[in-house]
Structure 1
């Protein structure tokens, strides 16, 4: 019976950029930014973690990620979204929670980036360093499975590209506040200090980064600006965190902030 490494090698040979994923956290178990692992490296990675799940980087394609949970159904959101009528027959997969991944190739010279909660229960994963889990990856809820009715990935129609690009909010960076003196003002000052002084010692870097990102987002700082500032603060940290950890922490805090604004929890599919 094929092991996970055999499936990982199969995806590599199909042209995907493969990433090993920890089952419990859904995070990459090694640095992968802008890197495509060779077959030899894949064998070594899965030799150390033979049960690791498999993800592929969204390099020349993107994924419409539909989530299903108790209070939000991404399928309902998709049904009410104009974009849905332009989705061609294409490669798809079901997720352990009953969600769906819809794969589409990026047209030449077109950039599609990550957009969390572009609609309730729907994320877009398209940055070259985003990734999606693929079969036979699994978690306690079940397995990721390919829908074999269509086995080719279609190119995204121009209409879908236009809708996704129009969806991206255009907000200016906002540091102007009317905060009164006191605890909240002091916390705001600390955020500015962390930008140039970094996130502190090794033991508390992750918590400091999470607090830093959460502090920016709750104050209404633009998401992309907050991400850039997080990278700057990490750069000035004496022992910076790996970029993959920065990305994972930022995404986690962004989801929490979006949930806070929307008044609902978030569950990974």
Structure 2
């Protein structure tokens, strides 16, 4: 038997209440994944930035709440809702969403693996939501006092970040393109803490006022100590970490503008550490290609 619009709305409310019980602030969403309630300030001659201070619903993610009575009131005001959104960046979980999009021109999952290899972090087991398009949402948590901004493909092609002021479509939601559902085996997991190295990428610290002198290509002038430190880092690699250390060191060298100059020394260090020369040169070439996409 086909599920009616009323049944869909009832299911959306039930899923939203379950999320709210877990401490996840929620709002009702329409089938187009947008907040179901329109702004109460539409049509006003001089719109102003209200985030719910007026006491009326219709302020998007600013309406998000964990209070069951308030959740029911929001859904009662939007009986056409087919899903729910979960506000990111809000206490207690301070949720961060890593949206792995599906596009013909890029493999976002492979891009995330490259980032993990380059910056030496492991993508943790965590709540994962499958999207109708074939993508995935990874749920992570952030520490207090850190604001993660929303971004689209800034981290890497096909990877969007949902942070403060953004929201994720919750599992169980139904949209015009299909349903969002938890990936098998992840529904009972708690959202995992964001790895510190990944957190630094998505919430970079403010730049210092007095920057170090830059070379003509915009990079800090290389120093002998920088290059020697990277070579020593590769020389100290043990079995099982040689490729990872070499790739990391080569990325740092290319990011600072002296990758080509250091390539032979890094290759020799990798060979001494036990890596075949052809494999070492292939790893350095991969680092050069990866960093070329992000260098100005």
Q: TM-score, normalised by structure 2?
A: 0.51
Q: Which of the residues 107, 111, 123 maps onto 2:160?
A: 123
4+ aligned runs moved over 4 Å, structure 1: none
8 Å contact 1:94–1:100 — kept in the other structure? yes
User: Structure 2: which 5+ runs fail to align?
Assistant: 1-6, 38-57, 208-296
1:75-113 Cα shifts (integer Å, max 9, x gaps): 232232235842111111111101011111102322211
Aligned-partner Cα distance in 1 for 2:150–2:136: 17
Q: Deviations over 1:26-64 (max 9, x none)?
A: 345221454443322322222243341111000212011
Aligned residue for 1:81, secondary structure, equals helix
Question: d(CA) in 1 for partners of 2:74 and 2:158?
Answer: 33
Q: Say whether the 8 Å CA contact 2:36–2:80 is kept in structure 1.
A: no
Superposition CA RMSD, Å: 2.7
Matched residue count: 170
- The match for 1:21 among 12, 17, 29 is 29
* Deviation string, structure 1 residues 198-245 (Cα, Å, up to 9, x no partner): xxxxxxxxxxxxxxxxxxxxxxxxxxxxxxxxxxxxxxxxxxxxxxxx
Contact 2:95 2:140 (8 Å CA) reproduced: yes
Q: Quick check: 1:80 aligned with 2:110?
A: no
Residue 47, structure 1, aligned to residue 80, structure 2: no
- The answer on 1:164 being equivalent to 2:188 is no
Query: Structure 1 stretches of 5 or more lacking a match?
Result: 171-269
Q: Kindly name which structure, 1 or 2, has the bigger radius of gyration based on alpha carbons.
A: 2
Counterpart of 1:147 in structure 2 is 183
Match of 2:133 in 1: 97
